[in-house]
Structure 1
């Protein structure tokens, strides 16, 4: 079980601290689809929060489309549609026994619903053909408030998939989908509920991506000396916001935390002049190094710069490749 930490003397409400930590655990797949969340009693013991507060946090998570409540069982991480119904990509059932079992289970269910084998075959072939056609065009979507996250996803997918990928603000997605057929929409699990709500009327395929879990970086932060001046730099305002919450929950006021978007040069130069250690995403890393060179005459000692791994987890990218028929 993850060890959630709540800073009781913080200006940030305890419920928001817990909400953001659980949401991060889901988005980074530390809590994968189908995972049962701790009971309110367990979390109350761990965090010291009242069970009513935890229940409200779980209700927020459910309203966000991230979890679902199963009566008499508990709260579970909600699987998205593409995770619930992945079709096998090989007929070699003896070689892939798990896939064989899934296919036979699906066939049994469809036959029970009254379909014939011929109809089932047509449905499967149509679904596969639709997925292949959707793979021809991939759109990355995020809200306008965090286009930096979309830029990170775009850069990493273009490199990993070696196919054209287009970034579309979520606010413009309805207009694009109304004139586009056979497209795959990709977004972070943070924004999956919004994306699916927009795409639903257009029968568009939507796939969520799991973000990198930042376990190494958080472990390093935990070991930093008290009063260390720690800088956080990213293209994404959302990443910065979540990082501030997580670091504050982990260390409280032990560290002097400074943050800047890579696009804000004035703020970035101020950060590199002050920070002793800087953590940045891969896309922002060269921008941070250039900023350090620009103020090198003002520095007694250059800050240590730590570049995190990709924003999107490797397993999630590999799954996307298979979903698109690229691997």
Structure 2
């Protein structure tokens, strides 16, 4: 069962903490598409927040496209609006049968075989051209998360990746004949709106569950000091909200951007546990080395290998024809 906890004296507003915790549960598939979310009454009992505040959070989640309201029933995780396609070891005869059935269906609508061939070739050509330009989109207020995703995708897919702010996406696509835009589910709705009628695909990826890191957080002694390092302010805020939900006021949590040398060395000097991704790995190692003679307690540094779920990477490879 997903846990929720609101840290009253946090710099992060209570409504933002709840939004982060619910959206993390959705984007890591702890709450799967179609899953019914807790009622406002349940969340009020669990978190101590007013039901009006919880309604506001649900409205924000709906605006982001993460949830949908079903009249008289409640709030549910939205069903995917995009789904990568491709096979994973399906027998050739089965695939041939699917192709025949698809052709039969198109012919039954009044198309000749020549027209069916042209339609299929046009679609295949378009998909191949989409693979030639791969963009990663995130909000302008947090370009770091797009940089994190782009770095992982370039390594995993071995193709060039361009980052772009959702707010600038329409201008970037003005001169593009085709392409694929990758984003996470936080930015899916505004990304689809920005793409509009441009001839590009939009694919949303899921976030890594961080199960190893979460287990470490759960088992830390009360009063432990946890440091978080990332180039993404959104990832830092989400991680802090998630730790609040797991441990309440038990832990001291301090975050830092890699370029904030003073804050980073403060964390390296005093933290029990430091968590970072590839984006802050080199800077954190330098900070730990620079403060090793001043450290008052042992430090454990965890370098997260992924932000994007491995399943999403594999599905993206299939969609782009890279397997």
Q: Show the counterpart of 1:64.
A: 64
Residue-by-residue CA offset, 1:139-198 (whole Å, 9 max, x unaligned) = 112223212111111111111001111122333322211011111111122111221111
Cα–Cα, structure 1 residues 166 and 11, in superposed 2: closer, same or farther, change >3 Å? closer
Q: Show the counterpart of 1:308.
A: 304
Provide the C-alpha distance between the structure 2 equivalents of 1:42 and 1:183, rounded to a whole number of angstroms: 43
Tell me if 1:257 matches 2:250: no
Q: Show the counterpart of 1:21.
A: 21
Q: Show the counterpart of 1:143.
A: 139
Secondary structure, counterpart of 1:207 in structure 2: strand
Cα–Cα, structure 1 residues 127 and 229, in superposed 2: closer, same or farther, change >3 Å? same
Q: Residues 64 and 186 of structure 2 are in contact (CA less than 8 Å); yes or no, is this contact kept in structure 1? A: no
Secondary structure, counterpart of 2:21 in structure 1: helix
Q: Residues 82 and 203 of structure 2 are in contact (CA less than 8 Å); yes or no, is this contact kept in structure 1? A: yes
Q: Show the counterpart of 1:223.
A: 219
TM-score (norm 2): 0.86
Provide the C-alpha distance between the structure 2 equivalents of 1:193 and 1:80, rounded to a whole number of angstroms: 11
Cα–Cα, structure 1 residues 244 and 64, in superposed 2: closer, same or farther, change >3 Å? same
Q: Show the counterpart of 2:130.
A: 134
Q: Residues 277 and 303 of structure 1 are in contact (CA less than 8 Å); yes or no, is this contact kept in structure 2? A: yes
Q: Residues 88 and 103 of structure 1 are in contact (CA less than 8 Å); yes or no, is this contact kept in structure 2? A: no
Tell me if 1:188 matches 2:184: yes
Provide the C-alpha distance between the structure 2 equivalents of 1:225 and 1:91, rounded to a whole number of angstroms: 49
Greater RCO, 1 or 2 (C-alpha within 8 Å, sep 6+) = 2
Q: Residues 10 and 252 of structure 1 are in contact (CA less than 8 Å); yes or no, is this contact kept in structure 2? A: no
Cα–Cα, structure 1 residues 33 and 132, in superposed 2: closer, same or farther, change >3 Å? farther
Tell me if 1:321 matches 2:317: yes
Cα–Cα, structure 1 residues 16 and 146, in superposed 2: closer, same or farther, change >3 Å? closer
Q: Show the counterpart of 1:239.
A: 235
Cα–Cα, structure 1 residues 53 and 91, in superposed 2: closer, same or farther, change >3 Å? same
Tell me if 1:266 matches 2:262: yes
Q: Residues 218 and 246 of structure 2 are in contact (CA less than 8 Å); yes or no, is this contact kept in structure 1? A: yes
